[in-house]
Amino acid sequence: MAIAAQTPDILGERQSGQDVRTQNVVACQAVANIVKSSLGPVGLDKMLVDDIGDVTITNDGATILKMLEVEHPAAKVLVELAELQDREVGDGTTSVVIIAAELLKRANDLVRNKIHPTSIISGYRLAMREACKYVEEKLSMKVEKLGKDSLVNCAKTSMSSKLIAGDSDFFANLVVDAVQAVKMTNARGEIKYPIKSINILKAHGKSARDSCLLNGYALNTGRAAQGMPMRVAPARIACLDFNLQKTKMQLGVQVLVTDPRELERIRQREADMTKERIEKLLKAGANVVLTTKGIDDMALKYFVEAGAIAVRRVRKEDMRHVAKATGATLVSTFADMEGEETFDSSLLGQAEEVVEERIADDDVIMIKGTKTTSAVSLILRGANDYMLDEMERALHDALCIVKRTLESNTVVAGGGAVEAALSVHLEYLATTLGSREQLAIAEFAESLLIIPKVLAVNAAKDATELAAKLRAYHHTAQTKADKKHLSSMGLDLSKGTIRNNLEAGVIEPAMSKIKIIQFATEAAITILRIDDMIKLVKDETQNEEE
């Protein structure tokens, strides 16, 4: 393609060398500048309005970038980077984008000063490995037998920049209880916390502090008919993925009837088929029937008579979680190998009870005491949709962070402490190297300082002074053996001073920091390797010939 682009008759434009690099860096800086002001406990929110006028108010980096329509290919790398961080860790999406953009900017300056990109890339890689090793060996603390306090502190740190920061004590406890409630041991004997089993329901009204944790999986729908019982215990649950409605012939099927009496029998048979299916379900012992599709009135009558609860139009995602939690099998057809319709009781899931409860103005079905994994539901209350959506995003981040802390068992101090310590360490490392990578590693060390600086700027504090103080503390911690405890010094943004963030309870899982450094470096390297961009223009003449 590159060769073709050089021939004069090809349609398209080619940019190469420094032009492309500068353009890529500018595009990435623009993306980072958008999320920069939302970092930290005093970060500001963004209001995003899409093309149909839907409003989203958030300061979650991944959400902001997902909603932007990014045209530039290099800037798209940063958007994907934020999504990757969201998937892998769940939090730290803003930090990862800011660090990647800063690494790029500094790398671009080095290239301008006649240092080859390959040298910079190998320097960055070396710095990344060294930084991750240093975090694991020197900065991370084992949280012995993880007391609930440190988990609550991790959740509070994650929420500190969000809308619910004012009630972070209350929500952090909710989050920790929820994650610990879904604890399970998998087949290999590892303890896992599947936070997918935590269902988050949003209900208008009351204040945020009226949110609560319910023991059981809540479905955001009520019973299909009023005559059904409110409570069934013990529950045997059937999960279906088809209509329980009067069977209709498929489109395009023609039935030629010569005798009008046959017509009535066809109608009767159509009604009986649904009745037989329901009888099979009830005979197998099902007393709760959930379906993703509809149930018509005739079918409801049979459930009411049998004293069973039927729920229609259940979301596919909810259905999967219920099936997993109760040990049920999601059935999409009753047909067996012989072409007969059967339903075996082994396909049913079990739970201690299924009840309908009223929350705000909505009825919800609660499935309690599930058989295989325990499931819990967080009911969020709040004034309006924007607030509830942002609360949900904040809780998602906090849930992920608590899960990572429990599974990895190590934490580091927050508030710029890790970045400052790494900056000092890598700068020292750079001076010991006699190779070309020295400059790249020194720039990598400088880049990491962007986090404490942005934190300070967002808090309306003097960034240069605070960053200098912070580095002085970490230099002392790394050079004097008796001052090791200073390595957890970080920023206190409400007072604009330096404090020991481990003691202050500002902590994050070590894994989050390591992933941020790895992903940001990889993204920066990916974009730095580009030195040629060829944009092909669609050839109009071909279309006309066709």
Q: Does 5 reside within a domain?
A: no
Number of domains present in the structure of the chain: 3
pLDDT-wise least confident of 249-258, 456-465, 505-514: 249-258
Q: What is the residue-averaged pLDDT of the chain?
A: 83
pLDDT (average), residues 165-177:
85
* pLDDT score of 147 more than 80: no
- Name 379's Cβ contacts closer than 8 Å, sequence gap at least 6: 201, 203, 211, 212, 213, 214, 218, 359
Partner residues linked to 330 by β-bridges = 239
Burial class (CB in 10 A: 0-12, 13-18, 19+), 238: buried
The answer to whether residue 363 is catalytic is: no
Rounded to a whole number, what is the distance in angstroms from the first to the last CA of the chain? 23
The pairing of beta strand 212-215 with beta strand 376-382? antiparallel
**Residue 310 in contact with residue 259, Cβ under 8 Å?**
no
**Together in a domain, 155 and 101:** no
Same domain, 170 and 106: no
Q: What are phi and psi of 499, to 5 degrees?
A: -145, 170
In this predicted structure, what is the pLDDT of residue 530? 84
For residues 310 and 224, the answer to whether their CB atoms sit within 8 Å is yes
pLDDT for the residue 339? 66
pLDDT confidence band for 160 (50 / 70 / 90): confident
Same domain, 395 and 440: no
Q: Which of 56, 93, 370, 405 is catalytic?
A: 93
DSSP state of 21: H
Q: Assign 478 to helix, strand or coil.
A: helix
Measuring CA to CA, how many Å separate 3 from each of 9, 20, 21, 199, 440?
12, 18, 20, 54, 32
What is the pLDDT, as a whole number, of residue 516? 92
- Annotated active-site residue in 45, 56, 58, 60: 60
Q: What is the CATH number of the domain that holds 530?
A: 1.10.560.10
β 532-536/12-16 pair status: antiparallel
- Whether residue 417 is contained in a domain is answered as yes
Is residue 540 pLDDT above 80, yes or no?
A: no
176: domain CATH number?
3.30.260.10
Taking the CA atoms of 481, 485, 487 and 493 in sequence, report the sign of the dihedral they define.
negative
In this structure, the answer to whether residues 346 and 226 fall within a common structural domain is: yes
- Looking at the structure, tell me whether residues 229 and 360 fall in a common domain: yes
User: Mapping DSSP to helix (H, G, I), strand (E, B) and coil, where does residue 210 land?
Assistant: helix
Asked if residue 340 lies in contact with residue 178, where contact means CB atoms within 8 angstroms, the answer is: no
* Cβ atoms of 305 and 294 closer than 8 Å: no
**What average pLDDT score do residues 313-327 get?**
84
Q: Which of 445, 521, 532, 435 is nearest to 119 (CA)?
A: 435
pLDDT of residue 546: 52
Least-confidence region, from 6-15, 129-138, 414-423, 451-460: 6-15
CA distances from 171 to 185, 399, 542 (A): 26, 10, 61
**What kind and span of H or E run contains 64?**
helix 61-67
Question: Higher confidence at residue 426 or residue 372?
Answer: 426
Question: What 3-state class would DSSP assign to 457?
Answer: helix
Sign of the Cα torsion 466, 472, 476, 479 reads positive
Look at residue 1 in the predicted model and tell me its pLDDT.
Answer: 46
DSSP 107-138: HHHHHHTT--HHHHHHHHHHHHHHHHHHIIII
Residue 201 in any domain: the answer is: no
Verify that 229 and 340 share a domain, yes or no.
yes
The Cα–Cα gap between 182 and 56 comes to 30
pLDDT at position 539: 65
Q: Decide if 528 is inside a domain.
A: yes
pLDDT 10s digits, 435-469: 888 899 999 999 999 999 999 998 888 889 998 98
Residue 268 and residue 346 share a domain: yes
Assign residue 237 the CATH number of its domain.
3.50.7.10
Q: What percent of the chain has pLDDT over 70?
A: 94
pLDDT of residue 197: 79
Give me 39's structure tokens: 């970092």
User: Where does 357-508 have alpha helices with state H?
Assistant: 385-408, 417-432, 437-448, 450-458, 463-479, 501-504
User: Would you state the pLDDT for residue 98?
Assistant: 93
234 preceded by a cis bond (ω within 30 of 0): yes
Res. 420: pLDDT tops 80: yes
Distance from C-alpha of 219 to C-alpha of 200, rounded to nearest angstrom? 10
Nearest CA to 221 out of 296, 307, 287, 291 is that of: 291
351 with 323, same domain: the answer is yes
Residue 209: the pLDDT is: 84
pLDDT digits (tens, 9 = 90+) for 235-247: 888 888 877 777 6
pLDDT of residue 441: 92
In a domain, 203, yes or no: no
Answer yes or no: is 542 within a domain: no
What is the value of pTM for the model shown? 0.82
Task: Please name every residue paired with 16 in a beta bridge, in sequence order, or none if there are none.
Answer: 532
Instruction: Verify that 360 and 225 share a domain, yes or no.
Output: yes
**Does 299 share its domain with 180?**
no
Q: Span 63-81, mean pLDDT?
A: 87
Q: Looking at the domain assignment, is residue 164 inside a domain? A: yes
Catalytically annotated residue among 58, 94, 157, 291: 94
Q: How far apart are CA 420 and CA 252, in angstroms?
A: 70
- Asked if the structure places residue 169 within a domain, the reply is yes
The encoded tokens of residue 184 equal 């399970």
Of the ranges 15-29, 98-112, 261-275, 401-415, the best mean pLDDT one: 98-112
Average pLDDT for 421-430? 91
Average pLDDT of 416-421? 90
DSSP assignment letter at 139: I
Query: Is 60 an active-site residue?
Result: yes
Express as a percent the part of the chain with pLDDT over 90: 13
Q: Which residue among the candidates 318, 397, 405, 521 is catalytic per the annotation?
A: 397
Residues counted in the chain: 546
pLDDT at residue 518 tops 90: yes
Determine the Cα–Cα distance for residues 363 and 274; give it in Å rounded to an integer: 27
Beta-ladder partners of 508: 412
Q: What is the mean pLDDT of residues 486-501?
A: 86
List the domain range (segments joined by +) for residue 251. Answer: 217-373
Whether 426 and 498 share a structural domain: yes
Give residue-wise pLDDT tens across range 192-234.
888 877 888 888 878 888 888 888 788 878 788 887 888 887 8
pLDDT tens digits for 23-55? 889 988 998 999 899 888 888 888 999 888 888
Same domain, 427 and 403: no
Q: Is 210 a catalytic site residue?
A: no
**Distance between CA 151 and CA 164 in Å, rounded?**
17
Secondary structure element (H or E) that encloses residue 47, with its range: strand 46-49
Q: What is the pLDDT of residue 545?
A: 52
What's the CA gap between 461 and 387, in Å, rounded? 28
